[in-house]
C-alpha cells in the first residue's frame, strides 16, 4: 500500500522505548508492548523495542512511542529517582518531538507532579501531566468502563488496582469519563489524563489488547510524529479483541 506515492508499509518503522521494565511491570502491563508490536507487524510495519532500565539514559531523538507500566510503592521510589535523571530527555521527546507516551497506574502517577504514599517521603514526578496523586485509604479494584470522545468506539475498558488518588489540575484533560468503576479518585468521574500525545491511565488488563482502536490511535499518532503525514492503518480482523471489549463494557467484577 503506497502513501503519498512515497512509501510502502514495509518501508515504515516505529521505535518503542520501554521505560523501566525492571521496576514497573505488574498486572501484565507488558502486554501493551506486545499489542503495539503485533499490530504494527501484522501490517508489515517494522518495529523495534528498546528497554531503558535503571541507570539507563533515554535517547529522545530515537523513539516514537514510550511505555511505562505500573508498580508497587517500593518500585515507584526507585522509578521516581530514575525518571528525574531522564526528565529533560522525556520532556524533549513529548513537548518538542510529539512522541507518544502511554503510562499505566504507578507510571502514570510519576508522570504527574508527585505521588505521596501512605508512609515515607513524597515521590517526585516529572510533571509532564498537570496532576498529582496522594495515597487513599481504600484500594480501588475492579473493572472500569470509560467514555471517550476521540475514538469511534466511544468506550475504553480495563481493570483498576490502585489506592492512589489522582487529581487533575484545572486545564489538565482526563483520558475518559468514568461510567463504571472509580477512575482517578472515585469522586470526580475522571479517569487518566492526556496532554498532547501523552496518555496516562489506571487501566491494567493490559489495556491495549481489549481496546484495539485505542492501540491503533496511538500507532497513528506515532506514525504521524515520525513521517509528518497521516498514514492510514490497514484494517485488521479484530473479532476476538472486539468480543473481549464488548464483554467488559458495563462489567463491574
Ligand atoms: N502504588 C500505586 C497505587 O497503589 C500504584 C499501583 C499500580 O501501579 N497498580 O496507587
> What mean pLDDT do residues 59-85 have?
97
Residue 164 near ligand 1, beta carbon < 6 Å: yes
User: Would you state the pLDDT for residue 151?
Assistant: 97
Q: What is the pLDDT of residue 27?
A: 84
Q: Determine if ligand 1 sits within 6 Å of the CB of residue 74.
A: no
pLDDT digit string (tens) for 94-112?
Answer: 999 999 999 999 999 999 9
Measured on CA atoms in the order 238, 151, 29, 146, is the torsion positive or negative?
negative
Q: Look at residue 213 and tell me whether its pLDDT is greater than 70.
A: yes
> What mean pLDDT comes out for the span 186-213?
97
Beta partners for residue 7, in sequence order: 3
Residue range 122-134: mean pLDDT, rounded? 98
Residue nearest to atom 3 of ligand 1 (CA): 162
pLDDT band of residue 7 (cuts 50, 70, 90) is low
Q: Mapped to the 3 state alphabet, what secondary structure does the chain carry?
A: CEECCCEEHHHCEEEEEEECCCCCCCCCCCHHHHHHHHHHHCCCCEEEEEEECCCCCCCCCCCCEEEECCCCHHHHHHHHHHHHHCHHHHHHHHHHCCCEEEEECHHHHHHCCEEECCCCCCEECCCCCCEEEEEEEEEEEEEEEEECCCCCCCEEEEEEEEEEEEEECCCCECCEEEEECCCCCCCCCEECEEECCEEEECCECCCCCCCHHHHHHHHHHHHHHHHCCCCCCCCCCCHHHHHHHHHHCCCCC
Looking at residue 253, its pLDDT comes to 78
pTM for the full predicted model: 0.96
- Is the CB of 59 within 6 Å of ligand 1? no
The predicted-structure confidence for 8-33, as pLDDT tens digits, reads as follows: 778 999 999 999 999 999 888 999 99
Contacts of 252 (CB under 8 A, 6+ apart): 142, 143, 180, 181
User: What per-residue confidence (pLDDT) applies to 6?
Assistant: 53
User: Is 161 touching ligand 1 by the criterion CB < 6 Å?
Assistant: yes
Give the distance (Å) from ligand 1 centre to CA of residue 62. 29
User: How many Å lie between the centroid of ligand 1 and the Cα of residue 192?
Assistant: 13
The pLDDT, as a whole number, for residue 86 is 98
Is residue 224 within 8 A of residue 231, CB to CB? The reply is yes
CA dist 126 and 141 (Å) reads 26
In the structure, what pLDDT confidence band is assigned to residue 252 with cuts at 50, 70 and 90? confident
> 102 and 67 in contact (C-beta within 8 Å)?
yes
Contact 124, 164 (CB under 8 A): no
Alpha carbon distance 241, 215 (integer Å): 11
Do 72 and 26 contact (CB within 8 A), yes or no? yes
pLDDT of 4 strictly over 70: no
Mean per-residue pLDDT of the chain: 95
Confirm or reject: Cβ of 106 under 6 Å from ligand 1: yes
Query: In the predicted model, is pLDDT for residue 243 greater than 80?
Result: yes
Question: Does the pLDDT of residue 148 top 80, yes or no?
Answer: yes
Q: Which of 105, 162, 195, 215 is catalytic?
A: 105
Strand partners, 104: 201
**71 in contact with ligand 1, CB cutoff 6 A:** yes
Q: Is 204 a catalytic site residue?
A: yes
Q: Name the pLDDT band for 73 (thresholds 50, 70, 90).
A: confident
Residue with CA nearest ligand 1 atom 4: 162
Q: Residue 37: CB partners within 8 Å, gap ≥ 6?
A: 16, 47, 49
63 flagged as catalytic: no
Amino acid at each position: 500500500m503506497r502513501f503519498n506515492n512515497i512509501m510502502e508499509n514495509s518501508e515504515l518503522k516505529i521505535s518503542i522505548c520501554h521505560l523501566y521494565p525492571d521496576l514497573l511491570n505488574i498486572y501484565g502491563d507488558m502486554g501493551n508492548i506486545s499489542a503495539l508490536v503485533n499490530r504494527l507487524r501484522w501490517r508489515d510495519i517494522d518495529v523495534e523495542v528498546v528497554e531503558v532500565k535503571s541507570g539507563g539514559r533515554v535517547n529522545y531523538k530515537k523513539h516514537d512511542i514510550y511505555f511505562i507500566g505500573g508498580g508497587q510503592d517500593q518500585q515507584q521510589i526507585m522509578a521516581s529517582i530514575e525518571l528525574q535523571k531522564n526528565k529533560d530527555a522525556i520532556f524533549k521527546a513529548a513537548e518538542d518531538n510529539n512522541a507518544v507516551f502511554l503510562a499505566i497506574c504507578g507510571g502514570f502517577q510519576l508522570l504527574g507532579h508527585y505521588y505521596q504514599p501512605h508512609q515515607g517521603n513524597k515521590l517526585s514526578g516529572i510533571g509532564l501531566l498537570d496532576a498529582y496523586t496522594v495515597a487513599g485509604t481504600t484500594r480501588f479494584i475492579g473493572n472500569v468502563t470509560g467514555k471517550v470522545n476521540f475514538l469511534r468506539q466511544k468506550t475504553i475498558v480495563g481493570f483498576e488496582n490502585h489506592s492512589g488518588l489522582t487529581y487533575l489540575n484545572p486545564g489538565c484533560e482526563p483520558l475518559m469519563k468514568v461510567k463504571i468503576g472509580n477512575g482517578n479518585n472515585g469522586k470526580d468521574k475522571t479517569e487518566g489524563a492526556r496532554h498532547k500525545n501523552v496518555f496516562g491511565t489506571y487501566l491494567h488488563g493490559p489495556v491495549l489488547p481489549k481496546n484495539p482502536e485505542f492501540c491503533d490511535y496511538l500507532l497513528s499518532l506515532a506514525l504521524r510524529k515520525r513521517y509528518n503525514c497521516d498514514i492510514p492503518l490497514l484494517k485488521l480482523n479484530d473479532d476476538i479483541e472486539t468480543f473481549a471489549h464488548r464483554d467488559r463494557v458495563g462489567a463491574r467484577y
